[in-house]
Structure 1
Amino acid sequence: MNHFMKLFSIAAFTFLVLDFIWLLLIAKKMYQDHIGDLLGPTKIIPAVVFYGLYLVGILFFVVYPAIEKDNLLYAISAGAFLGVLCYGTYDLTNLATIKDWSSLVTVIDLIWGGFVTATTCGITVFIAQHFNWR
């Protein structure tokens, strides 16, 4: 398996496990309480496209540069920034344009986006460093 597929698999497993725990066990009630009237049924294809694009973005913008720099701290900090940036794009746009969008959901999502992306990048780079994947 080439390096891209190995790194993608590690990042995908990490991100998806964390995000499903978040979405299904931790934040589900919060979303229902604060934006429940705005929620519709989950559409699988757009979700799959998002996860695929986001994971490729994580690899391109954070993981590969961190591996090249051999810098785990870079992976974590750049991952946190990318997560806040991307989740902020969604949540802050919603806050600006959707009448009943929740400010609390926006703040929590920004924190979550930073955390889940930083963690995914950190774990992926840590494993790549451990196995000396350059």
Structure 2
Amino acid sequence: MSQAIKPYLAALIVMGVLDALWLGLVAKDFYREQIGAQMAEQIRWAPALVFYLAYPAALVALALFPAGQPVATQVARAALVGLVAYGVYDLTNAATLRQWPLKLALADTAWGTFASTAAGAAAAWVAQRFS
């Protein structure tokens, strides 16, 4: 278990920083344009905290373990986790909500894949460097 703490922290930090930049600065207006009326006026911190603590743990568990895989394999698995996790979320929303444009689903899935890949790469690097 202690073998996963440092990679988890790396994934947590990278995912948190990237998502804060993406949602807070880069794509803030994009989301508002696409689903403005559906957005909460204030961030609901409890569900956000659960996601940002749990997702990097799942990412590390699914991408890095069992240990001993090549880093390229671990990073590719992190990308796959991101594609599946964000794809399921966005495509389910596109299928069930009145206003979840395909443009948003594709952009958000691409973002989640990128952020998960970066977080997984950081975790893999830390695991390799500090194991």
Q: Percent identity?
A: 30
Aligned to 1:118: 117
Aligned to 1:30: 30
Which structure 2 residues correspond to residues 1-134 of structure 1 after superposition, within 5 A? Answer: 2-40=2-40, 41-65=42-66, 67-69=67-69, 71-131=70-130, 133=131
Give the secondary structure class of the aligned counterpart of 1:68: coil
| Greater length-normalized contact order (CA 8 Å, ≥ 6 residues apart) | 2
Give the secondary structure class of the aligned counterpart of 2:65: helix
CA offsets 1:6-62 (integer angstroms, 9 cap, x no match): 222111111111111111111101000111111113110011111122111011100
C-alpha separation between the residues in 2 aligned to 1:115 and 1:15? 10
TM-score when scaled to structure 2? Answer: 0.92
CA offsets 1:79-128 (integer angstroms, 9 cap, x no match): 11110100111111110000111111100011111110011111111122
5+ unaligned residues in a row in structure 2: which ranges? none
- 1:129 deviation in Å? 1.2
- 1:73 deviation in Å? 0.9
Q: What is the one-letter code of the residue matched to 2:10?
A: I
C-alpha separation between the residues in 2 aligned to 1:98 and 1:110? 16
Kept in 1: contact 2:74–2:124 (CA 8 A)? yes
5+ unaligned residues in a row in structure 1: which ranges? none
Q: How many residues align?
A: 129
After the TM superposition, which segments of 4 or more aligned residues of structure 1 sit over 6 Å from their partners?
none
Q: What is the one-letter code of the residue matched to 1:46?
A: P
Kept in 2: contact 1:75–1:118 (CA 8 A)? no
TM-score when scaled to structure 1? Answer: 0.90
C-alpha separation between the residues in 2 aligned to 1:44 and 1:68? 36
